[in-house]
Amino acid sequence: MSIQFGTDGWRAKVGEDFTVENVKLCTQAVCNYLKSREIADNGLMVGYDTRVGSADFAVAVTEVAAGNSIPVTLCDRPAPTPVVSYNLVRRDCAAGVIITASHNPSDWNGFKFKPGYGGSASQEIITELETCLDAVLEDQRYLNLPITDAEKVGLVERVNPELLYLNHVAGLVDLGSIRNAGLNVIVDSMHGAGSGYIRQLLEGGTTHVTEIRNEMDPTFPDMKQPEPIDRNLEPLKEIIWNSNGDVGLATDGDADRLGLVDEYGNYISTLHTFALICQHLLENLGMTGTLVRSITMTCMIDKLGDLHKVPVIDTPVGFKHLGPVMMEEDAIVAGEESGGYGFKGHIPERDGILSALMILDMMVKTNKNPADLISDLIDRVGPHHYNRIDLTFQPEERGQIEERLAKAQPTKIGNLAVAEIDTRDGYRYVLKDGYWGLIRFSGTEPLIRIYAESESPNSVNSIIEECRNIAGI
């Protein structure tokens, strides 16, 4: 069996590869890593989401850590990934483990490792962890102390992670103005761990919050997976239309991603959402500093950077790349196409809840609803259209696909000249005016993803079709 950490930890199907035994082996590798760094005494933060078995897997992590004499701070309830990450930083833990499969289907679960800074583990840390894991998998041994015994000897502390987080994010936006703006806000928690957070933050004023799909249901009914993308947000769009909502905000299974719907029930792409956030920070909050984006994120960010004379840095996909750059550059924000955005003054990690607050803050400060904000953005940077398709492939096909991609040297795609081919993460074809097409393998699922951004839907479709032909899939 092979366990590998992708763009954001290890994920697998429950009962197949994701078992209590394998989770314990992974935890032993984490313990060995912490000991090798001589930081084990600072302890381990352990959190979990709403999926079937997540609480039990979190106990398994706790028992192995306690067996290694490492103190554990264990969440006493399901919690969003950014909430756990912020807690481990505030509590000065050496690292954290979060049992979550984020937006994956209900029969999956995952093991996220968070270093002491609270963000995704860098590639260097992942390499060290996997070296430790290889040794553990070969040995097939781990230390273990039952949780009842661990609690008796003081190695386990159960905590409510909500309060520290809520108090912190409340200070990052003008929460009082949002609470008293008289907005009609619709929140879709997608049956995940983010349920209740936005409502708690906004209650007590004239702004009204309606929550849907806020019951924690590990089957994630009526959706393929708890990912806040267009096809999964029909209930949110419907209630906005029927209740005269001002905005719809959706968070994924572990609430590190945001989906945005305007007052007419129209889904706003993650690219436009991030561009709005960048515009808000630069123009309404007066912040200056570096903007960080993944290579799958919109070139609108580059145009905003040019307008405001601030640098823009792009990275491969995943906050394991974005986070370290964010810290090195003291960037004001980082974002990726998946809907994950991180902010200065917080943790170098995605946070769907804080992202939602930033959109609300922008609405209040400009006195505009999302549709008008998008119109203003287009006036600033021009029209940008985007699409992504995900295609399954058989594992034995991957080598052939990679060979075809390596040999392809297109000079035009979608009738636009290819100015550059970026191979840092897949094959990104940079086209005229900064528009682009990208072919890359998913880091967490057996998928090949094809992305495109251009000036019109027809151009986007042409780019995607030609990229698909290049990949031969």
DSSP structure string for 65-79: HHHTT--EEEESS--
**Both structure tokens of 201:** 């933050």
How far apart are alpha carbons 102 and 334 in whole angstroms? Answer: 19
What does the pLDDT read at residue 51? 95
Q: What is the CATH number of the domain that holds 454?
A: 3.30.310.50
Residue 414 CB-half CA count within 13 A: 25
193 and 255 housed in the same domain: yes
**Both structure tokens of 87:** 């807690």
- Number of independent structural domains in the chain: 3
Instruction: Kindly state whether residue 342 falls inside one of the protein's structural domains.
Output: yes
How far apart are alpha carbons 411 and 429 in whole angstroms? Answer: 9
**Both structure tokens of 38:** 């001589």
Confidence of residue 246 (pLDDT cuts 50, 70, 90): very high
CA 148, chain centre distance (Å): 34
57 and 183 housed in the same domain: no
Instruction: Kindly state whether residue 183 falls inside one of the protein's structural domains.
Output: yes
Nearest in space to 225 (alpha carbons), one of 111, 120, 109:
109
Domain boundary pick from 106, 138, 161: 161
Q: What are phi and psi of 289, to 5 degrees?
A: 150, 180
Nearest in space to 23 (alpha carbons), one of 81, 83, 110:
110
34 and 119 housed in the same domain: yes
Q: Summarize pLDDT for 457-471 with one digit per residue, the tens.
A: 999 999 999 999 999
Q: Which of 195-199, 314-318, 356-360 has the lowest mean pLDDT?
A: 314-318
Beta strands 108-115 and 416-422 are unpaired
Q: What are phi and psi of 171, to 5 degrees?
A: -90, -5
Confidence of residue 1 (pLDDT cuts 50, 70, 90): low
CA 29, chain centre distance (Å): 24
Decide if 225 contacts 105 (C-beta within 8 A). Answer: yes
What does the pLDDT read at residue 446? 80
Region 231-241 average pLDDT? 96
Instruction: Kindly state whether residue 282 falls inside one of the protein's structural domains.
Output: yes
Region 340-351 average pLDDT? 97
Q: Does 444 score more than 70 pLDDT?
A: no
What does the pLDDT read at residue 445? 72
Q: Summarize pLDDT for 110-139 with one digit per residue, the tens.
A: 999 999 999 999 889 999 999 999 999 999
Q: What is the CATH number of the domain that holds 325?
A: 3.40.120.10
185 and 328 housed in the same domain: yes
How far apart are alpha carbons 22 and 135 in whole angstroms? Answer: 13
SS3 label, residue 341: strand
How far apart are alpha carbons 444 and 367 in whole angstroms? Answer: 40
Structural domain of 308: 171-381
Q: How far is CA 2 from CA 98, 130, 137, 409, 472, in A?
A: 20, 10, 9, 34, 28
Region 403-415 average pLDDT? 93
Q: Summarize pLDDT for 75-119 with one digit per residue, the tens.
A: 999 999 999 999 999 999 999 999 999 989 999 999 999 999 999
94 and 228 housed in the same domain: no
What lies within 8 Å, CB to CB, of 463 at 6+ separation is 413, 414, 416, 431, 435, 437, 452, 454
Q: Which runs of E-coded beta strand occur in 316-370?
A: 333-336, 340-343
Nearest in space to 83 (alpha carbons), one of 383, 352, 333, 399:
352
Instruction: Kindly state whether residue 3 falls inside one of the protein's structural domains.
Output: no
138 and 183 housed in the same domain: no
349 and 451 housed in the same domain: no
SS3 label, residue 436: strand
What does the pLDDT read at residue 327? 96
Instruction: Kindly state whether residue 1 falls inside one of the protein's structural domains.
Output: no
344 and 200 housed in the same domain: yes
Confidence of residue 442 (pLDDT cuts 50, 70, 90): confident
373 and 402 housed in the same domain: no
The rounded mean pLDDT for the chain is: 95
Domain boundary pick from 161, 190, 209: 161
What does the pLDDT read at residue 214? 96
309 and 323 housed in the same domain: yes
What percentage of residues in the chain have a pLDDT greater than 70? 99
Instruction: Kindly state whether residue 261 falls inside one of the protein's structural domains.
Output: yes
Instruction: Kindly state whether residue 454 falls inside one of the protein's structural domains.
Output: yes
Confidence of residue 61 (pLDDT cuts 50, 70, 90): very high
In DSSP notation, 182-215 reads: --EEEEE-TTSTTTTHHHHHHTTSS-EEEEES-S
What does the pLDDT read at residue 434? 87
Decide if 161 contacts 47 (C-beta within 8 A). Answer: yes
Q: Summarize pLDDT for 363-402 with one digit per residue, the tens.
A: 999 999 999 999 999 999 999 999 999 999 988 889 999 9
Domain boundary pick from 161, 183, 217: 161
Instruction: Kindly state whether residue 190 falls inside one of the protein's structural domains.
Output: yes
What does the pLDDT read at residue 419? 94
175 and 224 housed in the same domain: yes
In DSSP notation, 451-471 reads: EEEESSHHHHHHHHHHHHHHH
Region 332-343 average pLDDT? 96
Decide if 400 contacts 466 (C-beta within 8 A). Answer: no
399 and 278 housed in the same domain: no
What does the pLDDT read at residue 353? 98
